[in-house]
Amino acid sequence: MAILHQIWFLLVSAWILGGTGWLTLALLGSTLPFDRRERIAAGVLVSAAWVALLHLLVLATTGRLHTILYGLLFLTLGQMLLLAVRRLDIRRKTNPAPAREEADRPGGGGKEDPADRLESEIPKPKRYAGIEPLWILLILAAILMIVGGGSLGTIHDSLDTVAYVRGLVETDSIQLVSPIYSPDPLPAPDPRRGTFHTELALISLASGIDPADLWRELPILLFPFALLVLFLLAREILASPSWALAATGIFGLTAYLTPDHFMQNIAYASRIGWVMGWVGWMAAYRFLREGGRRLGIFVVLTAPMLMGIHILSSAQFLMILGCLIPALLWSRSWRSLEWRRALLLTAGAVAAALPFLIIRLMASYEVINPMFNRLQGVLFLRDGWISLHPRVAWSILGWPGLMALALSPLLFRRARTSMGIAVLLTTAWIPFIFVFFPPTLMLMEHFQAHSLIFRLLLLIPTPLILTVLIRDGAASWKNPGRRWVRMIPAGLILLALILHVGQVIGFLQVPSQRRLAWEEQPALVEAMEWIQSELVEPRVILTDPLTGYAMPAYTRHTSGTPLNQHSSPTDAWAFQRMVDAQAVLNGFVGILETCTILDKGRADYVLLNQAYPRYQEQYGLFLSPLTYELSRLKFDSQPALFTNIYDRHQIIIYRYNGVGRVKHFVQGLPHSLEGLMPDDAGFTPGSAAPPPAGTELGILAPLDPPLTATTPAETINVIVRDVPNPFLLTDAEDARFAAPLPPGLVKASHPGFQMDQPAIEYLGMDSVKTVHPGEALHLTLYWRRTKAPMPLPYQNILFIESDPPDGFFARLPLQPIGRYIWEWRTGELYRFGKGRLPLEHYYPPFLWQPGEVYRDTFDLWTPPQIRPGIYRVHLYIEEHLFNPNVRLSQLLSERASDLGAVVATVEILPGGAGYSP
């Protein structure tokens, strides 16, 4: 972006995000006790309220985005005029004109007005005396954002936001629905959309910046803004600007250096709403200490203002207000006056937000997406009771957050005499207990408030707690008797920060394909720019789910394919759409079925993205690079159906010519797999024979509704040359594996995982009987696709274990911890395993047809440190969730006997050359 254009963009962004709010607070003047820094922070929140009001007014009239922009402009000009008139009036009252006779008298007029002094006579301060450390920190933060700002990647929030903003700008309308991946809008409003999305669209419209560039550049303003607001909050609670600056530095370090680009992607509505909630927290704390009717009104109105930005941000703020009341019970320094103020604040904020909450929920959607409506990221206790998955809490809190919670009991005693510390501790522990306490977690899951669980963990004021602990350690340094004891927490905090930075460095050192969710791919960006410039009219471009999720964010086009549960909560066919996309791109799916899916989805183009490995284990729905050549062969071999219009950097775009033109599909000779598959794929080529050449396979079913008169009149015949599926067993081989399932294979699973009618069933296993450490364990599993529906993909879990070794560490109550200690001491392993989809790299189960039997051959490498002995192979099946679940027994016990059936045994012999991956 050119420097002048960037400056223009930043000025427009500052005006829309905070201009009207700042002018409003300036007009209110001293009636609200905010200094100039606090006025900037509060102005962003008030500006969002103005935009929300204009949004509602325009929604009832023109419904155009331009109307909101003009209204905001007139509002700003009116406020500027009122402010100028008011300041002139104040100046007239404070500096009355001297009497004429006094003014005419030489040397008369009383005292000299400082405004009448020559500018050269006013003493100037030193050059850098006015630059405070805070502003230096904010400038450095802005520079960091200029060097490496926001990134779209494949993170669902960034792509959802940019796609929605692009839709507002492209259509010049203020929609209440989110047409993310489908040409048709979702059936109901999306509560994740709010006034901040409207503000982003206004910035894009007024500055002329593309929504994707908007996302990359906006953190230049928002990251320093977040640091400023945290500084103001910390200054209010810690009562020390110096230590507030230290807390801001800790927050900047931990928030910037995170794998998910937390502050680089602060333009999420939920994240910026969380930051704006700190303004209300600061005002609430000041109101409890100082009072002030208008300040209390501002705090009460913060809840509905945040409701307009993001529904969960308002819930976070109400939780913060609720945490103030237990702090009153804890701290002796609170007076009865603060009791009344705290109760009034909480009750008033709830009452102010409740009507807006009811309206949003009544107009909201019902979650019917099978991928969304699942318990995910939870810990199953027993009898249906659940808690939060510890790994989820770890991923959100990290080392600094865990250290803050672990060391916070050291502050319990001081909370009795310090209301600031009492507030920090209640705000940390109440949300933490809330998400781990089974009844409250089950209540949130009942209302499908999955995201609220994670947002509550973000309330923990980690940087402020760590700063208080460091301050206590520094204060005790003057006490020689207990100097080193009191400095231990500070040392642990330093260790946590080092581990946090080391974790981020380790993440950046992993192969780039494992960082796809956080990094933009230059080849994909170039292809998207070409699509946006060359294809003027909106089209449906079918591609894999990962690439398709980025399509509406970068372009005006849609992909027809969601990515995961976040993109389509109201779509009951979301998983089927993903399966359809995988079928189109999979080389083993025939051309007849491919054309049927493309016609059903009214696709105009097919994008084959081979610029990066599309398979990611955490989603389990993406094709592997092992099938790239096979996938491309399917389209290149049918030039009459698919015209190659773009081929750069391993991204290929085909124009689909078959809609309404195909007359007949005629079977031809099959393609050979020679050179298209790796040598160790584990199959026998030609095991499944296609129909005889020349067989007429039929025509496509007519579309409903039928195509318009613009459909080309000419028709074509398609000679089908499909690739035989080498993993599909013929009927003759099928009889070998008609034996019943091993007893307890599925029934032994926990009720949370149990599948009464699994869509795939295990038939048997072939494996080697002996293997050396570091060598490959060659396994062949046989599966049958049943008639049961598959709402989610399945994965099979293989645990290969021996009896735990004797000794003290193996008898610990938490045996996994004992295992880690034992392995660290001895350097030996006695358990390993893997979860995978059958044929995951070639032909995953959701593409199988009922009744088909498949052979899945793969190598499972044994660790070089594995302990020799007899090992049992446990197998069980579970749904492949976006966030996996775990059972309490898995955390307490090392035995896998309750996780499935023993399907084989293998002996690991001593010796072997070892394995180096």
Q: Give me the phi and psi of 833, to 5 degrees please.
A: 180, -175
User: What confidence category does residue 623 fall into, taking pLDDT thresholds of 50, 70 and 90?
Assistant: low
For strands 605-609 and 386-388, give the pairing: unpaired
Closest CA to 154 of 573, 524, 690: 524
Overall size of the chain counted in residues:
917
User: What confidence category does residue 103 fall into, taking pLDDT thresholds of 50, 70 and 90?
Assistant: very low
The DSSP element (H or E) to which 843 belongs, if any, is none
Q: Is the pTM of this model over 0.95?
A: no
Closest CA to 495 of 402, 611, 626: 402
pLDDT computed for residue 578 by the predictor: 83
User: What confidence category does residue 179 fall into, taking pLDDT thresholds of 50, 70 and 90?
Assistant: very low
Maximum C-alpha span of the chain: 121
Closest CA to 189 of 356, 368, 364: 364
The CATH classification number of 523-720 equals 3.40.50
Higher pLDDT among residues 884 and 192, named by residue = 884
Q: Give me the phi and psi of 711, to 5 degrees please.
A: -65, 135
Burial 624-645, CB ≥16 within 10 A → b, else e: eeebbebbbbbbebbeebbeee
Are 455 and 316 contacting, i.e. CB atoms less than 8 angstroms apart?
yes
The angle that helices 293-309 and 269-290 make with each other, rounded to 10 degrees, is: 170
Pair of tokens at residue 315: 């819930």
* Rounded Cα–Cα distance for residues 361 and 364 (Å): 5
**Does 606 have pLDDT greater than 90?**
yes
Closest CA to 462 of 254, 163, 761, 170: 254
**Does 220 have pLDDT greater than 80?**
yes
Handedness of CA 205, 206, 212, 214 (dihedral sign): negative
For strands 869-879 and 794-801, give the pairing: antiparallel
In this prediction, residues 202-212 reach a mean pLDDT of 94
Higher pLDDT among residues 493 and 265, named by residue = 493
pLDDT computed for residue 268 by the predictor: 86
Pair of tokens at residue 726: 């080498």
Q: Render pLDDT for 657-706 as a digit per residue (tens, 0 to 9).
A: 887 677 667 776 677 666 666 655 555 444 445 556 555 666 665 544 44
What are the start-end ranges of the H helices in 437-544? 438-446, 450-457, 462-475, 483-508, 522-534
Higher pLDDT among residues 151 and 553, named by residue = 553
What are the start-end ranges of the H helices in 109-267? 133-147, 156-171, 195-207, 211-217, 219-238, 241-256
pLDDT computed for residue 105 by the predictor: 45
Instruction: Delimit the domains of the chain by residue range.
Output: 384-512, 523-720, 731-908
Conformation bin of residue 620: beta by default, left when phi > 0, alpha when psi is -120 to 50: left
pLDDT computed for residue 505 by the predictor: 83
Cβ partners under 8 Å of residue 550, min gap 6: 152, 154, 159, 524, 528
pLDDT computed for residue 722 by the predictor: 80
Q: Which amino acid is at 73?
A: L
Paired residues of 656 in beta bridges: 642
Provide the CA 619 distance to its chain's centre, in angstroms.
13
Pair of tokens at residue 358: 């009811």
pLDDT above 70 covers a percentage of the chain that reads: 76
Q: How far is CA 290 from CA 33, 45, 285, 286, 440, in A?
A: 10, 22, 9, 6, 34
- Terminal C-alpha separation, the chain: 43
One-letter-per-residue 3-state SS of 100-143: HHHHHCCCCCCCCCHHHCCHHHCCCCCCCCCCCHHHHHHHHHHH
Q: Render pLDDT for 780-817 as a digit per residue (tens, 0 to 9).
A: 888 888 888 887 777 788 888 887 776 655 555 666 77
pLDDT computed for residue 400 by the predictor: 95
R_g over Cα of the chain: 32
Domain 731-908 has CATH 2.60.40.10: yes
Closest CA to 281 of 354, 217, 229, 203: 229
Query: Which of 360-369, 431-440, 475-484, 874-883 has the highest mean predicted lDDT (pLDDT)?
Result: 431-440
Are 846 and 790 contacting, i.e. CB atoms less than 8 angstroms apart?
yes
In this prediction, residues 567-571 reach a mean pLDDT of 67
Q: Render pLDDT for 430-463 as a digit per residue (tens, 0 to 9).
A: 999 999 999 999 988 887 777 788 889 999 999 9
pLDDT computed for residue 362 by the predictor: 64
Q: Render pLDDT for 519-561 as a digit per residue (tens, 0 to 9).
A: 788 899 999 999 999 998 888 899 988 888 888 889 988 887 7
pLDDT computed for residue 406 by the predictor: 95
Are 607 and 597 contacting, i.e. CB atoms less than 8 angstroms apart?
no
The DSSP element (H or E) to which 369 belongs, if any, is none
* Rounded Cα–Cα distance for residues 493 and 486 (Å): 12
* Rounded Cα–Cα distance for residues 333 and 20 (Å): 38
**Does 889 have pLDDT greater than 80?**
no
User: What confidence category does residue 617 fall into, taking pLDDT thresholds of 50, 70 and 90?
Assistant: low
* Rounded Cα–Cα distance for residues 44 and 26 (Å): 13
Q: Render pLDDT for 296-338 as a digit per residue (tens, 0 to 9).
A: 999 999 999 998 898 889 999 999 999 988 888 888 766 666 7
Pair of tokens at residue 644: 């190659």
**Does 486 have pLDDT greater than 60?**
yes
* Rounded Cα–Cα distance for residues 404 and 460 (Å): 9
Q: Give me the phi and psi of 855, to 5 degrees please.
A: -105, 125
Q: Give me the phi and psi of 762, to 5 degrees please.
A: -85, 135
User: What confidence category does residue 620 fall into, taking pLDDT thresholds of 50, 70 and 90?
Assistant: low
pLDDT computed for residue 248 by the predictor: 94
User: What confidence category does residue 746 fall into, taking pLDDT thresholds of 50, 70 and 90?
Assistant: very low
One-letter-per-residue 3-state SS of 793-840: CEEEEEEEECCCCCCCHHHCCCHHHHHHHHHHHHCCECEEEEEECCCC
Q: Render pLDDT for 830-883 as a digit per residue (tens, 0 to 9).
A: 888 888 888 888 898 889 988 888 888 888 888 888 889 999 888 878 777 777
User: What confidence category does residue 59 fall into, taking pLDDT thresholds of 50, 70 and 90?
Assistant: confident
The DSSP element (H or E) to which 877 belongs, if any, is strand 869-879
Q: E strands within 593-743?
A: 605-609, 642-648, 651-656, 662-667, 696-698, 716-720
